Structures are given as structure tokens and as C-alpha cells.
Structure 1
Amino acid sequence: MVERKTGRRMSVARQILLLQLALLALVIGVGAALAVVDERRDSDDAIRRQVSSIAQTLALSDSTAAALTSPDPTAILQPQTEKIRQATGVDFIVVMAPDRTRFTHTSPELIGQLFNGNIDRALDGVTFTETYAGSLGPSIRAVTPVYDSGGTLVGLVSAGVTREQISKQFAQSVPVILFVAGGGLLAALLSSLLVSRRIRRQTLGMAPDELRTMYEHHDAVLHSIGEGLVVIGQGRSKDARVDIVNDEARRLLDLPDGPVPLSSIPETMRVDDASPAKDQVHLTDKRVLVVNQHPVEWEGNRIGTVLTIRDHTELQNVLGELDSVRSFAESLRSQAHESANRLHTIITMVELGRNEDAVAFATNELRVSQQLIDRLMNAVHEPALAALLLGKMSEATERGVDLTITEDTALGPVPSLNARELVTLVGNLVDNAIDASRASESPWVEVTVMEEDSMMVVAVADSGPGMTPEALEKAKGRGYSTKSGSRGLGLALVSQVVKRHGGTLTSEPAMGSMLVVRIPLREAEAPR
């Protein structure tokens, strides 16, 4: 776990949250202000279009031109314009003579007075809009000419809306803009909190300086430790990658440089077990590895798995040799015990005066033992393998198992395998066979080591219950054994040697159970 300092600086997640909120608040505030300005401009444009449309519609009406040329234009136009004004919601509609004299107005007392505003462009036949402070205050107004049927200018029409009314209409739309801006700010806050929570989870709530320090230490430690280190995240998809692999782990697992796919890690190490695993033995094609697995949790949640890997290949080889030496010692002890018994028997025969029987007994035992030794030493080129077979015979006899080295046993030089590999291969097969055979009433084991069609063949049969193909496949894996409560490595080590040299390990039918190893015989590679 990462050591937390008291009084440390603000975490990365909180800094990002505050910066994100400040930026979003600024963007939303500026956006809201621009929306207000845009809404005000759009409102003014809409008013200009409205008053222009009203003024032009009224000016183009034949009744308007006819009323302007009548003796009393006000009596005809004032009621009509007031109805139109009330229906359209504008503040005033003024119909005037070309000399600015008003014929209509919202305030009747202003009728007959001169119109305040610009009319020059309208007198030239152009409809225009302007903002002008008239009798009702500042307003947006439109002024358009009125022509009779002969094309003569007979008057002008002006329609307008005061700024006060425009402001009231605009004020009604401002809350909508503010509501949308507030909603956007709330959504930004929620999304920022979610992002902050995710970043906090990914950075373990640490500050930037803590992350930098941890990375520097992490990088230095990864390259300096002597154990392999693999960190696997929670993602176990097909394309998932390993989070961290140090140099020693790449060497032990023969991993390439660069990103490492999860599929490159041996399947037995990818077990997603929530409980820690200590000192598990795993075998690759070249090495015997001891693996510790530790789940990593933060705030009660599983965030990954850490594997530490140690190379026990040399130690396993030494242990194998030690087992062989122990076997030889046990064999010598057994032989010494048997020799003492035979010697006492011979001495007693001599004392009883049965000299001829004593000589026959001694020479017969010596002849049988020496024949076996001579046969193996002549038939098997590797002395360590011959000694191993002799030792296993004595060990089997002591354990009540009848072990036979067949007459077909004969093996010349095997350049591709060294003495250690031969002892590992044959010794483990024979040990497993002796253990398995003891399940029968009359235990026996039969061993054959020979050359056949440019192949080294090791066949070990026993009186045991045998192994199914499925059981054999499991036995090739790490720590599997058919013996209850045991986690043997015998067949796994045999499988390792077989794979290394391109051979096969199969279970074949026999009188009982039989395992057969076939390894191509080829010249050893020259040292590079």
C-alpha cells in the first residue's frame, strides 16, 4: 500500500475538479451572456420586421389612400388604426400627411400635431426603420409612404414599439436563458464529479508530487529487484494487456519487449483468485518458478493482482540430484545390510563345516548381482543413468516392489540430453511408477530405455491403476499428483524436459499402466 503523508497537497482529482468547474463556469457564463445579447438583437430584429410589416400593409390598403384624400382622414383612420394596434400589440400607429401632420395617434390629444422623427427617406419612396425618442419615449419605428392609385404620394404611415415594452418582452425570455445556463452548470458539476471520482480511483487520491515520487521510486525498484514482478489489472478481456512487467519477469517468462498481452502470461498464472497464493510452483518449458499472488484492494474494491516470481530451476535441479544421491545412499545402506546378512550366513555355514555350500551360496549371489551391473554398464552409455537404474532396483526391493530392467535396455550416447536431464527424466518416471504400483497386491515395475528409429524411448510400465489422457495432461501441469494430499512435480519436470527437446509423453495400454517418452536423437548444439 502507498504510504500517505499527513498535511499533503491537494490531490490530482480535486485539482482537476476545481479547474474543470472554473473553466465550465466561465464558458457557461460567457455563453449565457452571449445568449442574452443575441436574444436582445433577435428581439429588436423581430420588432423591426413586425412594425415594417404592419406599416406596409396599412400603406398598401386602398382604403388608407382614400381616407387620406377625404375631407376628414382622422374620423376614418383613427378607429381602424386603434383596432390594428390593439390586435398586433404595437404601441402606436401614426398616419400623417407629407408635411408631418398627424391624422391618428394612440394619444388623441397629439392628433393634428407634427410627427417627431425622420421621414425624408420615406418621402423618397423608401420604407425604413429607426430607433427614435418620440412622444411616447424611445421606440423602434418603421415609416413607409402611401400612394394613391395614380402614384401620387398622399401620406405616410409609421408603426412602432417602445423600448419599455421591448424590455418587458425581453425580460420574459431571460429566465429561460438563465434556467438553461443553470441546468448546463449543474450537468457540468455532476459530470465533473464523476470524472473526479474516476481520476481519484485511478490515482489513489494522491497529489501530483506524490505521483511523481511514486513513479520515480517505482521505476527504480522495478529495474533493480531480483524477483520477477507482474501486475495484472481487473480487465481480463481477450485484448487485455498486463499493466506492469519488470526486466526479471520478462527474462523468466521469455516475454518480448514492449506492451505484453495478458495471453502471453502462462495460463496457470492468470487465475483470478481473490485469496492470496503463496509459494506456488509453476513450470514453463525451461524453468521451475515459484509464484506468489496477492490481490490489490483500495477502499474495499479489487483493483488488480500482483505476481512475484522467483527462479527455482537450479534449486530444483540440485534437489533432484540430492534425491538421486539420497537414493544411492539408501541403496548402499540396503545392500550393506543384505551383505551383512549374507556374510553371517556364509560364516555360519563354514563354522558348521559346510564349506562347499558356503562357497556356492556366496558365488551365486555375487554372480547374479555382477551380471546385472555388467549388463547395465555395457548397455547404457551414461554412467549416471546406469547407476540410477541400479539404485532404483535396490530401492524398489526395499519397498516391496519387483522392479525389472528389460533385456531390451540399451542406450548409446545422447548428445542432446545431458546427464542431469537423463536422471530427471528416468528417475521421476520410475519413482512415480513405484508409488503407483504399490496400490496393487503384487506390485511390479518394468523399465525399458533404448534407441528406436533415431529416437530415445523410455517406457515405464507398472501394476498401478493407470492414467487417463486427461489425468496425464493435468500431471504435466504444475503441482499435480494422483496421490491424495500430494502436490508432486515428477511428471511436470519430465514434461519440461520432453518439451525442451521436442519429444512426446504419452500413456499407452499395457498389462497395467505404461508411460512412454520419445525424444529425437540429434547432435547437441554448438555453444554460441
Structure 2
Amino acid sequence: MDRRGRASAASRAFAAVTASVLVVGVLVGALLVVDAQRTAHHEAETVSRAVAESIVAMPLVAEALMAPGATERLQPITDDILADASVDFITIMTPDGIRVTHPDVTRIGLRYLGTVPDAPVPLTEEYTGTLGASVRTIVPVVSDGALVGWVAAGVTLGSITTDLALPRFPFVVGVALTIVAAGIAGAVLARRFMRQVAGDLPADRIRDAVSSYESVRTLSQAMRAQTHEHGNRLHTAVALLELGRTTEAIAILTETSRRSQALLDRIDVPAHIDPAVTALLMGKASQARELGIEWTVEIDPDAPPTGLGSVDLVSVLGNLIDNALDAAASGREPRWVDASLERGTSGELRIVVSDSGDGVPDEFTTRVFEEGFSTKPVGGLGRGVGLPLVRSIVDAAHGSIELAPDAPTTFTVHLPAAEASA
């Protein structure tokens, strides 16, 4: 088979990890930028309040506001503070909000643009004034319990970005680049590890290998149960023969043969259905009896063949039945598993597997097909492999799989018929 143009599993792993890392790096960078802006905004609030309160604390301010010529006495003070403090404006005003000082002297005597509280309490807000949008704090000037004026100090949003947020950007970029670099290094290691494990095999070859393993596993499990059941009956019959109880031995062997024939009659697999499926269903019947589970299987004579090979078809059906048996065995009585293969409304093969188990919790219904996710106990064999593998096989065959939202737990697979998938 020509493998040109088909990315290896190692290359796909590298690409997936690298893409994920880049996304994470961008998201972290964006979050850090937002955090830097939020922090800068908070600093502006703190600085504006501290400057306003420090001016209010000067005895000269209240004294000047209560006497004529307040502007001449206070404007030089605010100009000096403005030159050293990290604020863009300081405005001192009368109790009714008329400016006594302002960075633009032409605006002295005009009304303050911003909120003047109804009560003599500090207020911090974001407001658009003569210098543009700013974060500002207005603090009351009180003398002997009486309000004699207000002091407002503010930082424009432009200054917040330029003076407070921008200095943090190198740190933000550094963190984002560090995350990306570490992630790419991890992607390189992941690719190297994948190549050690799988060489340059394409991803679909890896999936085929896993499918082969799962097919052998579920068939072996089914055959073991059937062999164990038949072995027990055979050993019992041999022991009875040794004891001279021939009639009872013949009865046991006859019952064994009758059960096998009855099972074959119940399954009644059409000739075009893969023999491996027949073996799987017979073995799973024995496994169900071992677990005390009522087993029902129905195969529509019109069930069409599919384009799937024996290995993939056994993997799909076997994993669904294994999950159903596990769920029913751990659930309450009566315990049962139903499986059916039939022709769908569009001529496809429809596989339906239901069980009496406790079901899949609502919060997990969309996660059961995720690789590595399982509702089984941690450490269980094949944990988080079966259903993702089933979906991978079904998707590759252009089919579909769905989990019914209501009880009982029911998985339905639709696979295109052989002539449609050829």
C-alpha cells in the first residue's frame, strides 16, 4: 500500500501537541494581558485615592477654601504635586463642584465634570472629563464637621495602558513564550517516544493494531467462557462414567449438545455474516450465563454485510457487548443484555446493544467516547480504550454511533452496507 502523503502516528502526535501548546500559550498570554490591565486599573484607583486623601490632609487646603483667593494659594501646590505624583490631574473645588484649581487654568471657575457625591464620602469612578476617560477619586474636605470643598485626582485610561500596563507586557510575552517552548519540547519528546514505540507507521495502522488486539481479546474472553462451561460438563460426564453412572453421563452430554444447538438456532446467523461474529455471539452467551445474565440476540436475515473486516467488526460488536455485560453484572436484578443486528431504514447494518445496568450518568454521556475516559474502576484492563476504538472504526467506515439519552442504556451503530461502502 502506498504510504506517501499519510502522516505517521508520531507526526500526528507532534502536530496535535504543538497545536494544543500554541493555543494554550495564546490563551495564557491573553489572560495575563487582561490581568495586567485589571491590575493597572486597580493601581490607578489606589494612586488617585491616595493623592486626593493626602491633599485633603493638608491643613492649608481647608483654610484656603474658606478664604478669598483660594486659587492663588492652591494652584501652585497642585502643580507641584502633579509634577511628582503618578496622576494626570488634580482638581480642588468648592462644595458645589466649582473648580478652584485645574491643570488647564482656563477651566478654573467651571463646574467639575464627574460625580459629586450627595454626602461627604469618597467616591472612585471611571468618567470621561476634559482630559478624556479616566479613573478618578473625589474626596471631601471637611473642617469642624462642615463640608468646605472637594479634591479630585485621576489617571486617564491612556496613561493606565502606557505607564502601568505596558511595562508588564514583556513579562507576559516571556511567560507565553516559555510555555510554548516547553510545550514544543514536550511535543518533540512525544514524537520521539511514539517513533520508538510505533516507528513511522501511519495512525490508521496503529488503530488497526489496537483493533486486532481488542478483537482477539474479546473473542478469547468469549471462547474461554464457552470452553469453561463445556469443560465443566465434560469433566462431570467423565466422572459419572468412571462411577458407572452411564445414563446420567449421557444425559449431561445430550443436554450440552442440545444447548449448543439451541443457541445456534437462536442466533441463526445468515451465511453472509462473518463466522467470527457467530463465534463471538456464542461465546458471549456462555459468558452471560457465567455472570447470571439473561442473554438475548436477534439477527435479521436481511441484515446486510458491511465493508468492515472480521477484526474490526468483532472489535465493534465485542466491545459493545463487553461493556453491556459489565454494566448488567454490576447492576440490580433482573440482569439482562440484548443485542441485535438488523437492516436499517437506509439499507445499512444497524447494531443495537442494550443492558439492564445503572446507565451512564448524564454528565458523562458526551465523554464516554473520549480516549482514556472510563466509568470503570481505575486500573481496570482496557480502561478507556473500547468505546473510543469503536467510534474510530465506525467513523473510518463512514458510519455513526450514538448513546440513547433514556434508560435502558442503549448503544446504536449504523454501518454502511458493503455495496454502499465499496
Report the TM-score, using the length of structure 1 for normalisation: 0.40
Q: Which has the larger radius of gyration?
A: 1
Structure richer in strand, relative to its length: 1
Structure with more contact order per residue of length (Cα contacts < 8 Å, sep ≥ 6) = 2
Report the TM-score, using the length of structure 2 for normalisation: 0.49
